[in-house]
């Protein structure tokens, strides 16, 4: 079931998509994983300013070539806006969740970042809200995680702002471990069932993993079939996340996903992950050339094959209340 579209949600989706109705979004909301990349031996020694400076370099290079930018509330959002590193006419999304997760008997629970809220994201002028959700349909915490999604859906309805949900699969106690052949066999069904369960809760866009593990599945036809199943299970626009895979792998995944129902991509490390280990001058050059080239190539893939969100939401767009007196009902 599609969520009801309201004026605020329509505007937000317009702001984070390109003129073709496709999402070509760069993710810069990394926190713990970025600190590890900047200083693998001592990530806790990475300062606030070092994190901010690196994100600004990413923004300067990649924001002009993205339909929108996903940033975090700790190191990215305020400096990006204060320094005009995101153009005034460009959309941006802000993460709601705290980095990492709370673990209870092997299950992973999502929490809101300290002092943060949907209301604050809306107040700062963001176009959309994103939550990352560790989710395994067979875990004891699945219902609790679904409850977190429902609460977020209601808050986003209250403030009339789109919600993107990013479920991440993980192994549970007693089950096959992620990265093994046994887990890889289960992953397509897990990703598809996750979409089937979460999308009807009222989220606006799904940020999905590629259903197959590239280390264990190389058959294009099988991968295409799983992406088609994911599109059918979601029933709403979905974008592909990169999960830190190598760029060439992600490019192949993006092509398969967009040819089989995806509405674009929301990618980070696949575009820029080599940069943190470079000296600053080389880093800037890598971002200006290689990373921008990758982003432009991915955008071309999305533009050629992706399914516009406006097509999926065509009926909802026609039913947005614009009749006389709409302002009294809004």
H helices of the chain, in order, are 7-16, 32-38, 48-62, 77-82, 118-123, 142-158, 181-198, 220-234, 247-259, 269-272, 280-286, 292-305, 309-312, 314-319, 326-329
C-alpha closest to that of 25 among 113, 101, 126, 115: 126
Euclidean distance between CA atoms 76 and 53, whole angstroms: 9
Euclidean distance between CA atoms 120 and 141, whole angstroms: 27
Instruction: Give the predicted TM-score (pTM) of the model.
Output: 0.95
Q: Is 7-329 assigned to CATH 3.20.20.70?
A: yes
SS3 205: strand
Question: pLDDT by residue for the chain (330 residues), tens digit each?
Answer: 566 799 999 999 999 999 999 999 999 999 988 999 899 999 999 999 999 999 999 999 999 999 999 999 999 999 999 999 999 999 999 999 998 888 777 789 999 999 999 999 999 999 999 999 999 999 989 999 999 999 999 999 999 999 999 999 998 887 899 999 999 999 999 999 999 999 999 999 999 999 999 999 999 999 999 999 999 999 999 999 999 899 999 999 999 999 999 999 999 999 999 999 899 999 999 999 999 999 999 999 999 999 999 999 999 999 999 999 999 998
């Amino acid at each position: 079931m599609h969520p009801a579209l309201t004026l605020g949600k329509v505007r937000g989706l317009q702001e984070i998509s390109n003129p073709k109705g496709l999402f070509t979004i760069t993710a810069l909301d990394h926190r713990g994983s970025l600190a590890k990349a900047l200083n693998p031996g001592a990530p806790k020694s990475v300062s606030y300013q070092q994190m901010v400076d690196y994100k600004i370099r990413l923004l300067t290079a990649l924001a002009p070539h993205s339909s929108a930018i996903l940033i975090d509330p700790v190191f990215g959002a305020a400096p990006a806006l204060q320094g005009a590193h995101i153009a005034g006419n460009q959309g941006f999304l802000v993460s709601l969740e705290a980095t990492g997760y709370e673990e209870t008997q092997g299950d992973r629970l999502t929490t809101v970042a300290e002092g943060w809220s949907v209301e604050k994201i809306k107040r700062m002028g963001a176009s959309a809200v994103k939550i990352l959700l560790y989710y395994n349909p067979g875990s004891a915490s699945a219902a609790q995680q679904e409850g977190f999604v429902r609460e977020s859906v209601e808050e986003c309805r209250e403030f009339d702002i789109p919600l993107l949900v990013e479920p991440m699969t993980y192994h549970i106690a007693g089950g096959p471990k992620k990265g093994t052949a046994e887990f890889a066999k289960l992953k397509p069904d897990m990703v598809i069932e996750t979409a089937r369960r979460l999308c009807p809760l009222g989220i606006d866009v799904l940020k999905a993993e590629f259903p197959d593990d590239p280390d264990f599945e190389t058959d294009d036809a099988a991968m295409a079939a799983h992406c088609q199943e994911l599109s059918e299970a979601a029933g709403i626009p979905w974008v592909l996340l990169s999960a830190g895979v190598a760029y060439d792998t992600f490019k192949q995944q993006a092509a398969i996903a967009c040819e089989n129902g995806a509405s674009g991509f929301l990618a980070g490390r696949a575009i820029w992950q080599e940069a943190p280990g470079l000296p600053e001058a080389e880093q800037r050059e890598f971002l200006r050339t290689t990373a921008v080239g990758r982003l432009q190539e991915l955008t071309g893939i999305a533009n050629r094959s992706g399914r516009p969100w406006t097509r999926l939401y065509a009926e909802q767009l026609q039913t947005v209340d614009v009749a006389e007196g709409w302002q009294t009902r809004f």
